[in-house]
Amino acid sequence: MIRCCSGFQAYREVRDLPMRDSLLYLFRLLLLLGLVLAAVFVPQTWQFANTVADWSERNLPPFRIEQGKLRTNAPQPYRAGDRHFLFVLDTTGKITEPDPHASYGVLLTSDFLLFWMKTSRRPDSNLVVQRHNLRAFPDAEITPAYLRNLVRAAILMSLPVFFVLGIVVLLGQVLLFSLVGAFIERSMINGLRWPQLFNIAVHAVTPAAVIFTVYVSMRLEGLDLQLVYVVAYGIFLLGATNACRNPAPDQTPADNEWL
């Protein structure tokens, strides 16, 4: 990992590795960086579960889930929260869509839960919406303890999901760039073969992934991390590919070639 971040010439050491070794390296790299992110965020999100429980105790009316339906005697529509986070409860069917004025929110209807969030802090940013049928939730009285356990269970279940998703996304990225590179390299005399480009593309993930992990862990604001990742990956991918090519054969005619 250190060699992959130190310079382009280091990639000549991994250019001709078996592809399975590169895949194993990518798995171990993501596992290591994933553990770093988990060590930073899991304690904070674990405490967030207590915050959710305390907020619900102060703001939410009594209600329960019974056979996939929400039961409550609270006057409706019921609202709690502000423009940052809004909770809406309505089993009458009057409200079925998220409130775009709130950055985050939860809408509970008679038979489904709807969660939304804005993609950025701009007032006109798009909403990401997730809808879940209440039949997926066990019958229970919704108490602060129930919500605390629900949030913590979601945290634990999300860890392997994020890891698998990261593997899939990075493999797709590696395959895309290596295949495009192989097509371009075909026209070069000293072009690289696809397995070599695959190995380079896998290991070039290292600097970009390390930078991304550090920035996310430090919670730096005002940075477009997606752009930072793409730029870092592009620099090392192009630089390493150029450094891994063998010298082109000298095509200058010898002094006696014309004789």
Residues 65, 105, single domain; the answer is yes
Residues 35, 67, single domain; the answer is no
What is the per-residue pLDDT for 222?
A: 67
Residues 71, 123, single domain; the answer is yes
Q: How far apart are CA 94 and CA 244, in angstroms?
A: 63
Residues 100, 21, single domain; the answer is no
Number of domains in the chain: 2
Q: Using the predicted structure, report yes or no on whether residue 218 has a pLDDT greater than 90.
A: no
Q: Using the predicted structure, report yes or no on whether residue 191 has a pLDDT greater than 60.
A: yes
What is the per-residue pLDDT for 254?
A: 47
First-residue to last-residue Cα distance in the chain: 54
- Is 191 a domain residue? yes
- Is 80 a domain residue? yes
- Is 165 a domain residue? yes
Percentage of the residues of the chain whose pLDDT score is greater than 70: 93
Residues 159, 36, single domain; the answer is yes
- Is 250 a domain residue? no
The model's pLDDT over 30-52, given as tens digits with 9 standing for 90+, comes to 999 999 998 888 888 888 888 88
Residues 16, 86, single domain; the answer is no
Residues 137, 163, single domain; the answer is no
Higher pLDDT, 255 or 64: 64
Rounded mean pLDDT of the chain?
86
Residues 22, 67, single domain; the answer is no
Q: Beta-carbon neighbour count of residue 44 at 10 Å?
A: 9
Mode of pairing for the β-strands spanning 104-108 and 112-118: antiparallel
- Is 256 a domain residue? no
| Contacts of 76 by beta carbon, 8 Å cutoff, 6+ apart | 89, 90, 91, 92, 94
User: Helix (H, G, I), strand (E, B), or coil: what is residue 148?
Assistant: helix
Q: How confident is the model at residue 181 (pLDDT cuts 50, 70, 90)?
A: confident
Residues 69, 110, single domain; the answer is yes
The beta strands (E) that lie in 38-89 are given as: 63-66, 69-72, 78-81, 85-89
Please tell me the pTM assigned to this model.
0.72
Domain final residue, candidates 114, 141, 168: 141
The model's pLDDT over 50-70, given as tens digits with 9 standing for 90+, comes to 888 898 888 888 889 888 888
Residues 115, 69, single domain; the answer is yes
Q: How far apart are CA 245 and CA 243, in angstroms?
A: 6
The average pLDDT across 95-122 equals 85
- Is 52 a domain residue? no
- Is 159 a domain residue? yes
Give the residue numbers spanning the domain of 161. Answer: 2-40+155-244
- Is 45 a domain residue? no
